[in-house]
């Protein structure tokens, strides 16, 4: 009887671990980044009756600033919840890697195989990865500084 109640409380605690929150945030961030990389022309074709589809994609203009804030803040929160800086950088950049990877693969169907290695595209892709890594690193630094006090 005691063992069964202990295992139930451990199971409840396991659902609330920071790792699960990080995984959830990585999934949400990956979906948001992937949706942000879809060209406006495709959104207007997919959502012909939406007046803001070219600007805001599938999101109503009321929540569009919230989506932008989430894309910017989620990597910071991911870094904040990670215990090591290596995981913070990996998990913060993983959505950008996956989103950019899907975008580059889709772009090669239309533009060609050398889309990824064109100098302006390389710079843009690396800049996105650097931004997400920096945001994850800032989150981890906040955790580190708060832990010292």
Q: Which of 67, 65, 40, 68 is nearest to 54 (CA)?
A: 40
In this prediction the pTM is: 0.79
What pLDDT does 14 receive?
60
**142 to 4, 32, 48, 80: CA distances (angstroms):** 39, 24, 44, 7
Q: What is the longest distance spanned by two Cα atoms in the chain?
A: 65
For residues 50 and 45, give the distance between their C-alpha atoms in angstroms, rounded to a whole number: 10
Residue ranges in the chain whose pLDDT is less than 50: 1
For residues 146 and 149, give the distance between their C-alpha atoms in angstroms, rounded to a whole number: 6
What pLDDT does 11 receive?
52
Domains of the chain: total: 1
Residues spanned by the domain of 140: 2-148
């Amino acid at each position: 009887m005691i063992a069964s109640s202990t295992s139930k409380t451990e199971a409840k605690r396991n659902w609330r671990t920071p790792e699960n929150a990080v995984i959830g945030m990585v999934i949400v961030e990956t979906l948001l980044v992937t949706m942000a990389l879809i060209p406006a022309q495709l959104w207007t074709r997919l959502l012909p009756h939406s007046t803001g589809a070219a600007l805001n994609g599938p999101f109503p203009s009321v929540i569009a600033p919230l989506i932008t804030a989430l894309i910017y803040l989620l990597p910071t929160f991911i870094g904040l919840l990670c215990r090591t800086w290596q995981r913070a950088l990996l998990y913060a950049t993983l959505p950008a890697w996956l989103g950019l990877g899907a975008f580059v693969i889709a772009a090669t169907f239309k533009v060609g195989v050398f889309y990824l290695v064109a100098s302006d595209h390389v710079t843009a892709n690396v800049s996105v990865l650097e931004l997400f890594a920096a945001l994850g690193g800032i989150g981890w630094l906040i955790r580190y500084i708060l832990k010292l006090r």
